[in-house]
Each structure stands twice: as C-alpha cells, then as structure tokens.
C-alpha cells in the first residue's frame, strides 16, 4: 500500500488518503495545516467555525499518530491559539516532548504583543523507543566584531567551537521573504526549518510524511537529506509546482557521508555526533576562550578570505593543502 505513495506528492484530501497508510509505518509525521485565518489558498476555504476546524484537526492528528512507528515522532506547526487545543488531542495518544517556538519576526509596528512566533508541537509515539539526535546551530555573533551575542560568563571554556545545542526557541531561521524564492502559495515554510526537524529525528532512508504538503517544502527537505517522503496535497496546482521542484532536487546535502542543512555556503544545522567528522573542514580558534570573539571558519565558504589572518586560527597543515572553492573537483561539499 505504502509504495504507491512513496517519494511523490499525491493529490487529494488527506483524510481520504490516510486510509491507505498502514499503522506504524512512517518514521516522522510533520503537519503544517491551514490555520483557519482566511488565507487565500487555491482549493481550501480557510474559514471554518472554531468547532468545525477543531473537529477536523482532531481527525487528522489521530491519523498522524496512528501511522507513525513506535520509534517515530509527530511535529505540528501552527499558531499558539490552535496548538493549545492540539495538545489536549495529542496527550491521550502520544507523549509530549517539546513546544518549539519558532521566532519568525514581523515589523513590530502593528500592536502590542503582536504575534511574532509560531509553535511546533513535538510529540513522540513511544517513550522508550524514540529516535532522536542532538543538533547544533552556529553561534550568533556581531557581524562587525564577531563577538558572541550571548554572554556565557564563566562557562566560556566550555563553548563548542561550532555553536550551541539547539534549544526549544529557534531564532535563526527566517521566513521565506524574497519573492524569487517564493512559490504561488500563501504560506510556504523555509526548507531549513524542516531540515532541522529531519536531522533531529530521522536517519538516512527513513520515511518523512506530510499530509498538507503545499508546494513541497517537506518533501524537498527530505529528498535533499537522503530520506524518503510521502506528501498529500488537496490542490492540483501546488502538487504540480512541487513535482517540478522535486525533479530538480538531488539527495546531496552532505559533506562526505555526513548529512547537513546548508543555507548559502554555511551550515545551518548539524548533528552533534557529526562534528568530529566535520571539524576538519573548519578552521578552529586556538583556545576555547577565543571562541568568544573568533568564529570557526568553514574552509569552503565565503569566509575563506578570513584565512589570511593566520593569527586567528590553529594550523591545520592538511587543510592548507586543500583550500578549494565551490565547484572545484576536490570540493568536499556536494550540496552546491
Ligand atoms: C499551510 S499550507 C502548507 C504549506 C507547506 N508547508 C509549504 O511549505 O509549502 C496548507 C496546505 O494544506 C492544503 N490542504 C488543505 N486542506 C487539505 C486537505 N484536506 N488535504 C490535503 N491538503 C490540504 C492546502 O491546499 C495548503 O497547500
């Protein structure tokens, strides 16, 4: 049954299509449903009564839990108002792990307490069997002086050269703003948001499921990271856009055999355990204290010009032989 849906976006009503997906068969389920905010979708009336909307949500949330494997996780993205109801549905069938706050700022010019974050509920199917990986993101620094924004006080000697473990507040991933990156869709998510979730909760070859696929963000993230995917989407045009985009994507978001999430030429998310392998691609400050004001430099990124400042780095002879630019044959980053 599952095979016919694998690695494609199927057009249709997710509640109908769910019936074909066996129990305990997918690794993670991610849902970004319409928020009932009267957005202009092609095929969805985004304006149900509160009770109609919640009844509908409860049905597909139950299905998400049903089809997820005991090792798997369930992620649901929405505004806080609706997530408060979702927790009461999910608490009876799965285990709460986190309420991730995704800070997606708008200009603070409308009103006091203007909503500027979304929530991502993170539930797991079984407490003892869940698959989960610690993940890191780059330190946030002043662009001019490179000092860390965060004051680590006496903990500086413990700083990780690449960056901290990701907390439940995500401030480093921006909404899709530029028109050139946007599809004809009112609510497209950034790929790096989903890539982070995938790196945290799945392995290569696992199945990532999305019942509200839109223009295919989850599927693209899964494909880039060497995972399988299943997407459902009501609107034919969005399916078409997704399939066109997917045809151009490769499963190559990695350095050597390490899957990573990239934006431009910097890593956005990596797994903690992969730093050992990836560190050889970075120029790392001499001492732990230096990390406070000296960024690690990805040897193949735009920061290569900083290599000239030899005082600011440890000497890596192996690397000095291998300074390469994107596109050269020995480039270890196959993403670009
Ligand atoms: C918030 S958008 C998802 C956007 C997606 N995350 C992306 O980045 O492109 C919700 C999507 O759900 C689709 N949708 C609404 N009702 C649906 C249903 N019953 N079954 C499948 N898809 C549905 C809409 O057409 C819309 O594209």
30, 209 contact by CB (below 8 A):
yes
The 3-state DSSP class for residue 181 equals helix
- Digit-coded pLDDT (tens) for 58-111: 999 999 999 999 999 999 999 999 999 999 999 999 999 999 999 986 777 778
Please tell me the residue having the least CA distance from ligand 1 atom 17: 234
The answer as to whether 257 is a domain residue is no
DSSP per-residue letters across 36-93: SS--B-SS-B----HHHHHHHHHHHHHHHHHHEEEEEEEEEEE-HHHHHHHHHHHTTT
Cα–Cα distances in Å, from 10 out to 14, 18, 53, 195, 235? 9, 11, 23, 21, 10
The 3-state DSSP class for residue 235 equals coil
Please tell me the residue having the least CA distance from ligand 1 atom 27: 214
Taking the centre of ligand 1 as the mean of its atom positions, its distance from the CA of residue 163, in whole angstroms, is: 34
The answer as to whether 319 is a domain residue is no
pTM for the whole thing?
Answer: 0.88
Q: What mean pLDDT do residues 119-142 have?
A: 96
The answer as to whether 49 is a domain residue is yes
Q: What are phi and psi of 150, to 5 degrees?
A: -90, 140
Query: Which has more pLDDT, 246 or 296?
Result: 246
Taking the centre of ligand 1 as the mean of its atom positions, its distance from the CA of residue 131, in whole angstroms, is: 27
With cut-offs at 50, 70 and 90, classify the pLDDT of residue 319. very low
Q: What are phi and psi of 127, to 5 degrees?
A: -65, -40
Mean per-residue pLDDT over the chain, rounded: 86
Taking the centre of ligand 1 as the mean of its atom positions, its distance from the CA of residue 3, in whole angstroms, is: 22
Q: What is the pLDDT of residue 177?
A: 73
Answer whether residue 221 shows pLDDT above 50.
yes
Q: Is 189 in the pocket of ligand 1 (CB under 6 A)?
A: yes
Q: What is the pLDDT of residue 301?
A: 52
Cα–Cα distances in Å, from 251 out to 106, 205, 215, 246, 259? 33, 11, 18, 10, 10
Taking the centre of ligand 1 as the mean of its atom positions, its distance from the CA of residue 241, in whole angstroms, is: 13
88, 123 contact by CB (below 8 A):
no
The answer as to whether 11 is a domain residue is yes
Mutate to test the pocket of ligand 1, among 177, 185, 213 (most ligand atoms within 8 A of CB): 213
Q: Is 36 in the pocket of ligand 1 (CB under 6 A)?
A: no
Taking the centre of ligand 1 as the mean of its atom positions, its distance from the CA of residue 36, in whole angstroms, is: 11
- Digit-coded pLDDT (tens) for 2-56: 999 999 999 999 999 999 999 999 999 999 999 998 778 887 888 889 999 999 9
CA pair distance 291, 301, nearest whole angstrom: 19
Range of the domain at 78: 2-134+172-252
Q: What is the pLDDT of residue 317?
A: 27
Q: What is the pLDDT of residue 300?
A: 62
Q: Who contacts 44 (Cβ-Cβ below 8 Å, separation ≥6)?
A: 34, 234, 235
- Digit-coded pLDDT (tens) for 265-316: 789 999 999 999 999 888 888 887 788 888 888 776 544 433 343 333 332 2
Q: What is the pLDDT of residue 335?
A: 21
With cut-offs at 50, 70 and 90, classify the pLDDT of residue 325. very low
Residue 45 has a CB neighbour count (10 Å cut-off) of 9
256 Rama sector, left if φ>0, alpha if ψ -120 to 50, beta otherwise: left
With cut-offs at 50, 70 and 90, classify the pLDDT of residue 321. very low
Residue 336 has a CB neighbour count (10 Å cut-off) of 12
Taking the centre of ligand 1 as the mean of its atom positions, its distance from the CA of residue 232, in whole angstroms, is: 8
Please tell me the residue having the least CA distance from ligand 1 atom 19: 13
What is the number of structural domains in the chain? Answer: 1
Cα–Cα distances in Å, from 148 out to 20, 128, 209? 50, 37, 37
Q: Is 43 in the pocket of ligand 1 (CB under 6 A)?
A: yes
The answer as to whether 150 is a domain residue is no
Q: What mean pLDDT do residues 256-273 have?
A: 91
Taking the centre of ligand 1 as the mean of its atom positions, its distance from the CA of residue 234, in whole angstroms, is: 7
CA pair distance 77, 83, nearest whole angstrom: 8
Q: Is 32 in the pocket of ligand 1 (CB under 6 A)?
A: yes
CA pair distance 208, 28, nearest whole angstrom: 5
Look up residue 291 and give its DSSP letter.
G
Answer whether residue 185 shows pLDDT above 90.
no
Q: Which atom from ligand 1 is nearest to the alpha carbon of 217? A: 8
CA pair distance 249, 272, nearest whole angstrom: 26
Q: Which atom from ligand 1 is nearest to the alpha carbon of 13? A: 20
Distant-in-sequence contacts of 145-151, Cβ < 8 A, 24+ apart: 145/293, 146/293, 146/294, 146/295, 147/292, 147/293, 148/291, 148/292, 148/293
For the chain, how big is the Rg over CA atoms in Å? 21
Q: Which atom from ligand 1 is nearest to the alpha carbon of 189? A: 8
The answer as to whether 119 is a domain residue is yes
The answer as to whether 316 is a domain residue is no
Query: Which has more pLDDT, 305 or 154?
Result: 154
Answer whether residue 130 shows pLDDT above 80.
yes
CA pair distance 295, 54, nearest whole angstrom: 47
Q: Which atom from ligand 1 is nearest to the alpha carbon of 56? A: 19
Q: Is 75 in the pocket of ligand 1 (CB under 6 A)?
A: no
The answer as to whether 35 is a domain residue is yes
Taking the centre of ligand 1 as the mean of its atom positions, its distance from the CA of residue 88, in whole angstroms, is: 23
Task: Give me the CATH number covering residue 90.
Answer: 3.40.50.150
Q: What is the pLDDT of residue 172?
A: 92
């Amino acid at each position: 049954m599952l095979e016919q849906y694998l690695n494609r976006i199927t057009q249709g009503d997710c509640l109908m299509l769910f019936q074909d997906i066996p129990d305990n068969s997918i690794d993670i389920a991610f849902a970004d449903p319409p928020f009932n905010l009267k957005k202009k979708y092609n095929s969805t009336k985004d304006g149900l009564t509160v009770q109609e909307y919640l009844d509908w949500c409860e049905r597909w949330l139950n299905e998400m839990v049903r089809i997820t494997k005991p090792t798997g996780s369930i992620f649901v993205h929405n505004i806080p108002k609706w997530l408060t109801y979702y927790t009461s549905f999910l608490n009876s069938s799965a285990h709460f792990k986190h309420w991730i706050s995704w800070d997606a700022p708008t200009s603070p010019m409308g009103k006091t307490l203007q909503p500027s974050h979304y929530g991502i509920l993170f539930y797991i199917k079984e407490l003892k069997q869940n698959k989960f990986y610690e993940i890191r993101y780059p330190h946030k620094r002043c662009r001019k002086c490179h000092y860390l924004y965060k004051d680590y006080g006496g903990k500086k000697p413990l700083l990780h050269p690449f960056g901290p473990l990701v907390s439940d507040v995500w401030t480093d991933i921006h909404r899709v703003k530029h028109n050139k990156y946007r599809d004809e869709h009112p609510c497209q998510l950034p790929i790096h948001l989903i890539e982070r979730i995938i790196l945290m909760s799945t392995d290569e070859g696992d199945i990532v499921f999305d019942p509200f696929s839109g223009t295919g963000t989850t599927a693209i993230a899964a494909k880039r990271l060497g995972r399988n995917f299943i997407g459902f989407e009501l609107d034919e045009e969005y399916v078409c856009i997704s399939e066109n985009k997917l045809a151009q994507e490769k499963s190559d978001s990695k350095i050597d055999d390490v899957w990573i999430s990239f934006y431009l030429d910097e890593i956005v998310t990596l797994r903690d355990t992969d730093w050992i392998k990836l560190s050889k691609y970075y120029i790392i400050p001499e001492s732990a204290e230096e990390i406070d004001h000296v960024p690690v430099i990805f040897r193949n990124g735009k920061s290569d010009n900083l290599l000239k400042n030899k005082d600011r780095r440890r000497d890596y002879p192996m690397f000095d032989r291998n300074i390469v630019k994107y596109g050269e044959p020995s480039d270890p980053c196959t993403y670009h």
